[in-house]
Amino acid sequence: QVQLVQSGAEVQKPGASVKVSCKTSGYTFTDYYIHWVRQAPGQGLEWMGWIKPKTGDTNYKQKFQGRVTMTRDTSISTGYMEMTRLTSDDTAVYYCARDSGLTYWGQGTPVTVSS
Amino acid sequence: DIQMTQSPSSLSASVGDRVTITCRASQGIYNYLAWFQQKPGRAPKSLIYDASSLQSGVPSKFSGSGSGTDFTLTISSLQPEDFATYYCQQYNSYPFTFGQGTKLEIK
């Protein structure tokens, strides 16, 4: 069965960086885009961008350009989302999801930014 | 960016009721619309894609309709496990955008 398993919770200081992983199984990794979505505490869902695992091509929401980098390692069917220059506004649960319909989701990775 | 507006923002209903949630796009999105269910502390779950296609394993009590700018999600015969927050999302153009959510509560 399709599974997306994310790395564990992170606590970072303002100005630091965080890298979240999303290990996939149950399908051919290079056949489907990986999207990243975040949810601040008590808030709605915000799409961040995608990576095309086959080529490494990416597309980021404009507000994240220059601060977010999505990468992948096809040898271990894993996608990554790295965010730099963290602020308290980046405190959220970060999800990976497969394909444009966001059909399958990871369990979420809580990221807390606090001094 | 395409703005997605859901109504109502919250809804109280009883077990056995039938409810409808509306989602309106600020511009036409053909049928590139999905619906998700989210329970507290859990990842969203995909219910419907392409406005009216049911995801595999999702019970037929969930149904979606609409195209262009106006869409609906209908849930029939509500059960306790259906009380959750529901989101619509467009994937017609980037950036993908979500509605603000509809919290369905037990009356």
Average pLDDT over residues A78-100: 97
CB atoms within 10 A of CB A21: 20
Question: A105: which chain B residues are within 8 Å (Cβ-Cβ)?
Answer: 43-46
Strands A10-12 vs A109-113: parallel, antiparallel or unpaired: parallel
Q: Taking the CA atoms of chain A, what radius of gyration do you get in angstroms?
A: 13
Measure in Å the smallest separation between the Cα of A52 and chain B Cα atoms: 15
Measure in Å the smallest separation between the Cα of A88 and chain B Cα atoms: 20
A100: pLDDT confidence band, cut at 50, 70 and 90?
Answer: confident
**pLDDT tens sequence across A10-52:** 999 999 999 999 999 999 999 999 999 999 999 999 999 999 9
Cross-chain Cβ contact B98/A44 below 8 Å: yes
